[in-house]
Chains A and B, each alone.
Chain A
Amino acid sequence: MLIPDTLQGALMLSLIDFFLSFVVIAAIGLVLAAFPWLNRIAKPRVKDPIQE
């Protein structure tokens, strides 16, 4: 076990966990912010009738 079974260990675990939770969820938020780009791929490519 990496964290000691003491009050200090509990405080350390809480700090690390709370901080990392923000980091990971912010990273997920960043990934989600890029999601609208997917809609460009998904858009059906309609051929330009004038060029045809």
Chain B
Amino acid sequence: MHDQFILFLGALLKQTGLQELWWGNLVMIAVGCAMIYLAIAKHFEPYLLIGIGFACIVANVPGSDLIRQGGLFHYAYQGVNLLILPPLIFLGVGAMTDFGPMIANPRLVILGAGAHLGIFVALVGAKLWGFSIQESGAIGIIGGADGPMAIFVTVTLAPHLLPQISVAAYSYMALMPLIQPPVMRLLTTKQERLIRMEQPRQVGKLEKVAFPIVMAVIVNLFLPPVAPLITMLALGNLLKEVGVVERLSKTAANGVMNVVTIVLTVAIGSTMSADTFLTVSTLQIVFLGLVAFVVGTASGVLTAKIMNIFLTKKINPLIGSAGIASVPIAARVSAVVAQQEDKRNYLIYQAMGPNLAGVFGTAISGGIMLALLRAG
């Protein structure tokens, strides 16, 4: 009886995950807990970090069936793997975004390209570190400061790097208020930071309705590799701007967006198992991501300063860093830094122009990269 009891207990123990548990799992469970803590206590991207952190914890409990084939988290990941979820996120983003500031000041869209030098510095840095060219491209796109775009490019070029790249991209986006201001101050004089910009013109309704249609045509014509993302962004925006399908627009901005966010965060977190995440390459990717954000911020500010050489009505170079994308965090950072110099200088609307152009800048860079690097 006693022997049988021990035997059954041993058999039960074998079915649990305890025997497969190693210190890496414990580290990643701690990482998951840290993410949830940062989301709750510091409000760092809570909508993303809660789901990612929780799924990260579950993925590192050995024996969990959720991440194995047939498990619920496995199916959530298929939404990422089949490139369904990132375009749906863009549908919601489009339904929430007013592109008026970008339409009102077309001169400033150039900053949406200028602030993306970080992508290419990180790309070359990754290649120097021994990553393949596809992996380097995926790492570089962290500098585009656009979560869904980073996921989209990574899944296509280097799917095995998805957890590291998505975590780095979203973490640095949350940390932008800490990363950007020192770079912005370093590259501008007090005089430049005090520049006030005139309020842009009012944008008409027909312009706002035409914008998503025109953008969808341009992107599908010239950048087919990223067309799924921008097309859905355009559709979401069209639903918002036409003003006759409020129910659909609200569903895209709220219901769809929330459901997809839950599934997407769970999918990303479920890929963060210790054996794939605790590697030297993770540290390299995290470092290169930081380099990409710093260089991107700097190149945006410098592009604005170069533009000022040719412009009669000077622009405040602080809005240059908003061209990195990460809507609306980067625009908010520009506005805050400007207000620290002059409390009456309200730059948020002007900064939103390059900020929104940055989304297209990242899409263009990603699209060209995919066109040149996709196998076959």
Residues of A within 8 A of B (CB): 1-7, 9-11, 13-18, 20-22, 24-33, 35-36, 38-39, 41-42
Contacts and interface: CB of A to CB of B under 8 A. Distances in A.
A13 B110 contact: no
Nearest to A22: B113
Interface residues of B, number: 48
A28 B211 CA distance: 10
B205 interface: yes
B210 interface: yes
Contacts of B205: 42
Q: Lowest 4 CB-CB distances: which A-B pairs, in order?
A: A14-B120, A32-B106, A10-B127, A42-B206
Contact of B123 (A1, A14, A29, A31): A14
Most buried by A among B102, B123, B126, B201: B123
B133 A9 contact: yes
B133 A13 contact: yes
A14 B124 contact: yes
Interface stretch (B9-17, B339-347, B361-369): B361-369
Given A2-B372, A14-B120, A35-B103, A25 B110 contact: yes
Given A1-B133, A29-B109, 4 more contacts: A1-B375, A14-B124, A18-B119, A36-B201
A34 B204 CA distance: 13
B54 interface: no
Contacts of B112: 25
B256 to A, nearest CB: 27
A25 B157 CA distance: 24
Given A28-B218, A28-B360, A17 B120 contact: yes
Nearest to A14: B120
Contacts of A22: 110, 113-114
Contacts, number: 119
Interface of B: 102-103, 106-107, 109-110, 112-114, 116-117, 119-120, 123-124, 126-128, 132-134, 136-137, 140, 201, 203-207, 210-211, 214-215, 218, 222-223, 357, 360-361, 364-365, 368-369, 372-375
Contact of B106 (A2, A21, A29): A29
Classify the interface of chain B: helix, strand, loop or mixed: helix
Given A2-B372, A24-B223, A29 B107 contact: yes
Nearest to B99: A32
Contact of B116 (A10, A18, A39): A18
B124 A16 contact: no
Given A9-B133, A17-B369, A35-B210, A24 B116 contact: no
A28 B117 contact: no
24 contacts: A1-B375, A5-B134, A6-B127, A10-B136, A13-B369, A16-B368, A17-B365, A17-B372, A18-B119, A20-B368, A21-B116, A22-B110, A24-B113, A25-B109, A25-B110, A25-B357, A26-B113, A32-B106, A32-B109, A36-B207, A38-B207, A39-B204, A41-B206, A42-B205
Nearest to A21: B113
Contacts of B215: 28
A35 B200 CA distance: 14
A17 B373 CA distance: 11
A13 B368 CA distance: 9
Nearest to B106: A32
Contacts of A14: 119-120, 123-124, 140
Contact of A30 (B106, B206, B364): B106
Given A21-B364, A38-B210, A7 B110 contact: no
A42 B120 contact: no
Contact of B372 (A16, A18, A29): A16
A32 B214 CA distance: 9
B130 to A, nearest CB: 10
B267 to A, nearest CB: 27
